[in-house]
Homo-oligomer: A and B are copies of this chain.
Amino acid sequence: MDISSLMKENAAALMPALEENLKTPDESLETLYSAMRYSALSGGKRIRPYLVNRFCRLFGGDEKAAIPFECAIEYVHASSLIHDDMPCMDNDDLRRGKPTNHVVYGEDIALLAGDALITRGYEIAATNPFVSPEIALHATKLILGNAGGEGMMGGQQIDLLAEREKPSYELLLKMHEKKTGALIRTAALLGCAAAGIIDETDERYKAADEYARGIGLAFQIIDDILDVEGDAAILGKAVHADAKEGKTTFISFMTPAKAREYARQVTENAADAIRKYPASDELVEFAYFLLKRNK
């Protein structure tokens, strides 16, 4: 199974909707919307939309209902990258091989574009026309709770403070669970929602949750390994950045080989959580694809 091609297909199929939702509504707003599009449409792996789509499909949902949720989660993710890259945060000039948003549009517009893009993401979920109001509300609450202070943004705060004072291993885990894990988990659960599953006690909901927690953690471990052992040309970003910044990562607590073994175990558990569902093959393979990625 060629996961990479399947992901690209899903990303390509999503593109019209991603563009449509960010059309400039009024010429006086062209700068803002152009900045929003610059970051949201500039590629990337589109892992989160792919997960939304495949969990919707796994549980027999109509993929049309997944599309707005795919856009929503991607906008939220892209917004976080705009703000993360800003000089007062990570101060990155390059993202996906292109100048970062604030380099192109200036810090003021980049700040606003991040604000407007995340708000648009939430809005697209809330206004999904292919699901009931109950499901739209559930999905919106899911995204808000996992993007906000107790989720992704909370993880970013832990990350920021961790640069000043070395975090414990437990805090490192918590940071990743929030910073990256929360949105990956949300993606899988949005797929469930698109398929009509919004009951937290439903075993399909729990299986999706467990799978996503696993691949989210493995994803981050691999990220840390790639910063040490990866190829900058393939990654599209500098390597050894963590070490240079004195950042605490999984590699601060174990060798790359041990970290890889840990990621493998976590991936296996994730795969096991969904294996019993017919048609789970692709998602099982996707978990291993993430484990083996080199970018």
Contact = CB atoms under 8 A, between A and B. Distances in A.
Interface of A: 25-26, 28-29, 31-33, 36, 83, 86, 88-89, 106-109, 111-112, 114-116, 118-120, 122-123, 126-127, 133-134, 136-137, 140-141, 144-145, 147-150, 153-154, 156-158, 160-161, 171, 174
- Dominant secondary structure of chain A at its interface with chain B: helix
A86 B111 contact: yes
Nearest to A28: B158
Contacts of A88: 86, 88, 106-108, 111
Given A115-B153, A148-B119, A149-B36, A174 B137 contact: no
Chain multiplicity (copies): 2
A115 B155 CA distance: 13
Contacts of A89: 108, 111
B149 A119 contact: yes
Contact of A141 (B26, B123, B149, B158): B123
A148 B137 CA distance: 18
